[in-house]
């Protein structure tokens, strides 16, 4: 009997020990699960900055440190390509023009195309490799081809950035390789993304290329979000001083969002966080479409991203740089500390001719789009009871301006009447009216091919 009691006591002690071991193990597992999640909160990083905007109206849904200075890294190449798009639109640059790789361009560290000094490449192929593969050598070569030297081209980039509303950007190279003077902000890149879509929709597809075949080699796109439904651009970027950056655009139904995240800790965090930003933004759209009045979308993002946020706006560069580690960056160049912003060199003389041409083009376009009273009184087709809607805006002036822009870019809409009217939700719709169903469908197909929003409706 006594022996049985001893055995029972031993079993009980063993069970208690096992129970204690299980509790401890579960606590360790829980710590391993929870701690990384907290460590992976992107807002904990001093480098983090983000913004989400409605691509059509420009409404800011979410902004955190959106105006704080940050290294753009390879997001710079969006601005480089914007400059090239402008040259192509003006006829000064053609897709089949040949670019000769200079010794300077060939010396750029990875990521690069591997071309040697003296090699040639077409403008079109160079731009595809810049947009998708982020080739630093080709960004420098394209800059030299357009601007004479990369430094002069970068100065023109800075001036153009200021013209389109990028108030906190300064560029000194075309690639985004580390330089103490090259800075921008999350808001500026949202402005740039909208400008690309607005000014050069015919070239936006460069940011959607999934991979490129060149000289027997396949070059993949670095943007992982292109595999997600509705995501059709834009660009990733990384240097050690910046962290993992991403500008992305996604469309669902009649809505399109642009999200910018700067300062991610790794690729997975960047991908997941931008996905969260997008999903939250489209949830706001869906709730508004159902009649819910959400005026301050920022609150919706805070509740999803960080229930108890502890945000601190960075006020000076010293605070920013204190958080950066000392590893070499992905692009193979040493990290430099952020110094005082240096203004771009004087380029007034170089831009005078371009500005004069722009003014002349605008005058000619205004004359072309004006219609006579006789044209307006033309006999209406009895089947012309259809319309296309290409946007909805908070301000009537925005809707009217977009109508002019779209009509100017698509010859199918030449002479088609426009209509700007307020819907039940209080937004101004941009429509082209009095069309046949076949013409409306054909126009929408052409517009959507340029990755712009379009919907066929009855007038």
Query: Residues 134, 180, 184, 249: which is the catalytic one?
Result: 134
Write out the E strands in 217-349.
Answer: 217-220, 231-239, 243-252, 255-264
Is the backbone peptide bond immediately before 234 cis, with ω within 30 degrees of 0?
A: yes
Task: Give pairs for 280-288: CB < 8 Å, separation 24+.
Answer: 280/52, 280/61, 280/62, 280/304, 280/305, 281/52, 281/61, 281/62, 281/257, 282/250, 282/252, 282/255, 282/257, 284/61, 285/252, 285/255, 288/425
CA–CA separation, 406 vs 447, rounded Å?
9
Whether 134 sits among the annotated catalytic residues: the reply is yes
**274 closest CA partner among 288, 257, 287, 289:** 257
Written as six digits, the tokens of 10 are 């031993």
**Catalytic, out of 45, 57, 68, 77:** 77
Alpha helices by DSSP H, 149-266 = 150-163, 186-199
Radius of gyration of the chain from its Cα atoms, rounded to whole angstroms: 27
Question: Does residue 74 carry a catalytic annotation?
Answer: yes
**Which of 401, 402, 394 shows the shortest CA–CA distance to 423?**
394
Instruction: Classify 456 as helix, strand or coil.
Output: strand
113 phi-psi bin (left φ>0, alpha ψ -120 to 50, beta other):
alpha
CA distance linking residue 142 with residue 83, whole number of Å: 10
Q: Both tokens of residue 27?
A: 């606590």
Q: Of 228, 248, 223, 256, give the one whose Cα is nearest residue 452.
A: 256
Residue in the structure block whose two tokens are 């059709």: 232
Q: How far apart are CA 125 and CA 98, in angstroms?
A: 10
| Annotated catalytic residue, options 45, 57, 68, 74 | 74
Q: Quick one: the chain helix, strand, coil %, rounded to 5?
A: 45, 20, 35
Please give the Cα distance from 77 to 231 (Å, whole number): 19
Q: Which of 204, 392, 188 is nearest to 285 (CA)?
A: 392
> Checking DSSP bridges between strand 98-100 and strand 418-422, what pairing results, if any?
unpaired
Cα 98 to Cα 100: distance, rounded to the nearest angstrom: 7
Identify whether 77 is a catalytic site residue.
yes
Please list the active-site residues.
Answer: 74, 77, 134
């Amino acid at each position: 009997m006594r022996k049985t009691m001893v055995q029972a006591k031993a079993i009980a002690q063993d069970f208690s020990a096992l129970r204690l071991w299980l509790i401890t193990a579960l606590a360790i597992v829980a710590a391993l699960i929870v701690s990384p999640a907290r460590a992976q909160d992107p807002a904990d990083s001093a480098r983090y900055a983000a913004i989400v905007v409605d691509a059509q109206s420009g409404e800011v849904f979410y902004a955190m440190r959106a105006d704080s200075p940050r290294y753009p890294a390879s997001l710079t190449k969006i601005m480089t390509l914007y400059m090239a798009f402008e040259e192509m639109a003006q006829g000064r640059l053609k897709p089949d023009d040949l670019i000769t790789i200079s010794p300077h361009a060939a010396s750029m560290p990875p990521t690069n195309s591997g071309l040697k000094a003296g090699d040639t490449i077409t403008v079109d192929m160079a731009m595809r490799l810049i947009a998708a593969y982020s080739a630093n050598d080709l960004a420098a070569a394209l800059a030299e081809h357009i601007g004479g030297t990369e430094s002069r081209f970068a100065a023109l980039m800075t001036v153009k950035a200021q013209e389109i509303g990028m108030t906190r950007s300064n560029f000194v190279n075309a690639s985004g390789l580390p330089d103490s003077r090259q800075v921008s902000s999350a808001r500026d890149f949202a402005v740039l993304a909208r400008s690309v879509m607005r000014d050069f929709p015919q070239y936006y597809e460069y940011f959607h290329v999934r991979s490129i075949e060149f000289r027997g080699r396949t070059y993949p796109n670095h943007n992982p979000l292109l595999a997600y439904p509705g995501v059709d651009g834009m660009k990733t970027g990384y240097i050690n001083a910046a962290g993992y950056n991403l500008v992305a655009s996604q469309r669902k139904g009649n809505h399109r969002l642009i999200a910018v995240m700067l300062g991610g800790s790794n690729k997975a965090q960047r991908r997941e966080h931008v996905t969260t930003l997008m999903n939250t933004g489209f949830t706001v759209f869906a709730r508004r479409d159902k009649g819910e009045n959400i005026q301050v979308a920022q609150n919706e993002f805070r509740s999803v991203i960080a229930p108890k946020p502890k945000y601190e706006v960075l006020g000076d560069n010293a605070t920013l740089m204190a958080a950066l580690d000392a590893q070499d960056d992905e692009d193979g160049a040493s990290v430099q500390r952020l110094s005082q912003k240096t203004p771009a060199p004087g380029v007034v003389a170089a831009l005078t001719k371009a500005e004069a041409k722009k003014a002349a083009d605008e005058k000619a376009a205004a004359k072309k789009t004006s219609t006579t009273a006789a044209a307006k009184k033309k006999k209406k087709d009895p089947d012309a009871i259809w319309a296309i809607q290409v946007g909805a805006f908070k301000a009537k002036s925005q809707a009217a301006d977009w109508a002019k822009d779209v009509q100017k870019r698509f010859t199918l809409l030449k002479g088609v009447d426009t209509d700007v009217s307020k819907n039940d939700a209080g937004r101004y719709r941009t429509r082209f009216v009095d069309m046949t169903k076949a013409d409306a469908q054909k126009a929408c197909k052409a517009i959507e091919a340029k990755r712009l929003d379009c919907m066929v409706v009855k007038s």
